Structure 1
Amino acid sequence: MELILVRHGDVEAAPGLCIGCTDVALSATGFTAIQRLAAQWIGRVPRFLFSSDLRRAQQSAQVFAARFATEPLADPRLREVDLGEWDGRHWDEIARTDAARYRHWADNWVIQEAPGGESFADVVRRTGAWLSALLSSTNDDDVVLAIAHAGSIRALLCHALGLPPARAFALRIGHAQASAVVCRNGQFEVSYLNASRFEAM
């Protein structure tokens, strides 16, 4: 199975805003960037098109859905990390008004949940559950496209490649960028990461 992971386009939000599960929409430039990426698709039509159920991912998925004449399958397991009480606030404000909890979280983000939210380890577990279910329902020659977020894509790649979660930010995942892995005999290998166009296998 070839799994292609695309991060949604840029969003309508002020710089420095904490955006986890805050349900913001794509910006005009984000929509255009996704359109440009989708226009460069090469190879076979995906057997499945999955998406996070957050609006910015759904809007991005609809661009690909129009290209492939299919409907995206929304799955909350592909959501961005839930930042709980901090979601939708400015990071500067959080660091100033909730300094102790913010510092503790910043030093232990892999295993420490944001207040009322989840840890990165939680995201690895839920995206890993999605990936396991996907592997059980696909064939070796299937192509699967999933539209998700920087956090959930990093978590999926950590799970698939056996990377320590603490190394997740070594993986650059830009808006409207594509990454691909292939599973052969139960083992994943990287085809490309954070690319502005799709690459032939």
Structure 2
Amino acid sequence: MRTLYVIAHPESAHHVDGLVGGWYDSELTAGGLAAAAQIAEELRARIPDGAEVELFSSDLLRAQQAAEVIGARLGTVPVIDRALREKSYGVAEGKPQAWLRERFVTPPATGERLGHDEGIAGAETMGGLARRVYAAMDSILARGGEHQIIVTHGGTLTFVVGAFLGLPWETLGYARFRGPSGSITELREDDYFHNRELVGLGDTGHLRRE
């Protein structure tokens, strides 16, 4: 049995400040660090003592900070992978969300969506994000660990889940898997049929108000 836990990093400074994230390297807030500790405790409760745990993280600071808190609790060191980053928003990164909204070109209702140009210089297409994340997932899944944790970003979650379920990335022009900040998405592969299941999407039941 393989279980994969996908963490959407908790609250970071760009959320609070109303800035565009993407590759803008903001850090976790105090609340985000507290949430990371709560995520770590929840994972400790779900993963049996003594089980081997593999931990992977986006290289952006907000994800790395959460991964370090989780790794300290579970006794493992995160493997940092740039390919697990959020989608790049090019020149919009670090600017106010209103700046992006004024310039953003929404994808069409029909036709080409994954290769759609959003009108922001330097931004990735959704297809570019998908290919990057699928390549990272190929490497992670090839390792075959029984308990694997991926700390990433809300926008990346769709393609982590899609890759695990074996959905061709080209089919995800419309589909989205959403997980709020600080959430845990649980995926499982059985060791008999090797079927893969989305057990829980975007669970935040472990987060408590201090």
TM-score norm. by structure 1 comes to 0.84
Partner Cα distance (1:83, 1:58) in 2? 20
Match of 2:157, SS state, is: helix
Please, which of 166, 171, 174 is the counterpart of residue 173 of structure 2? 166
Contact 1:37 1:197 in 2 (8 A): no
Contact 1:3 1:181 in 2 (8 A): yes
Q: Give RMSD over aligned pairs.
A: 2.2
Partner Cα distance (2:138, 2:39) in 1? 27
Q: Specify the alignment match of 1:81 in structure 2.
A: 87
Partner Cα distance (2:133, 2:189) in 1? 16
Match of 1:166, SS state, is: coil
Q: Specify the alignment match of 1:16 in structure 2.
A: 18
Give the alignment of 1:46-65 within 5 angstroms: 46-65=52-71
How many pairs were matched up?
190
Comparing 47-56 and 114-123, the one that deviates more: 114-123
How much does 1:12 deviate? 1.0
Match of 1:167, SS state, is: coil
Q: Deviations over 1:53-77 (max 9, x none)?
A: 0000000001111111221110011
- Whether 1:157 and 2:161 are equivalent positions in the alignment is yes
Please, which of 28, 34, 37 is the counterpart of residue 36 of structure 2? 34
Partner Cα distance (2:133, 2:21) in 1? 18
Q: Specify the alignment match of 2:4 in structure 1.
A: 3
How much does 1:46 deviate? 4.7
Contact 1:21 1:80 in 2 (8 A): yes
Unaligned runs of 5+ in 2: none
Comparing 127-136 and 71-80, the one that deviates more: 127-136
Q: Specify the alignment match of 1:43 in structure 2.
A: 47
Partner Cα distance (2:68, 2:175) in 1? 28
Contact 2:36 2:66 in 1 (8 A): yes
Comparing 71-80 and 114-123, the one that deviates more: 114-123
Q: Specify the alignment match of 1:130 in structure 2.
A: 136
Q: Deviations over 1:133-177 (max 9, x none)?
A: 2222215xx1101100011112111233328423343x2211111
TM-score norm. by structure 2 comes to 0.81
Q: Specify the alignment match of 1:144 in structure 2.
A: 148
Please, which of 190, 197, 200 is the counterpart of residue 198 of structure 2? 190
Q: Specify the alignment match of 2:114 in structure 1.
A: 110
Identical amino acids, percent of aligned pairs: 24
Unaligned runs of 5+ in 1: none
Contact 1:77 1:130 in 2 (8 A): yes
Runs of 4+ aligned structure 1 residues displaced above 6 Å come to: none
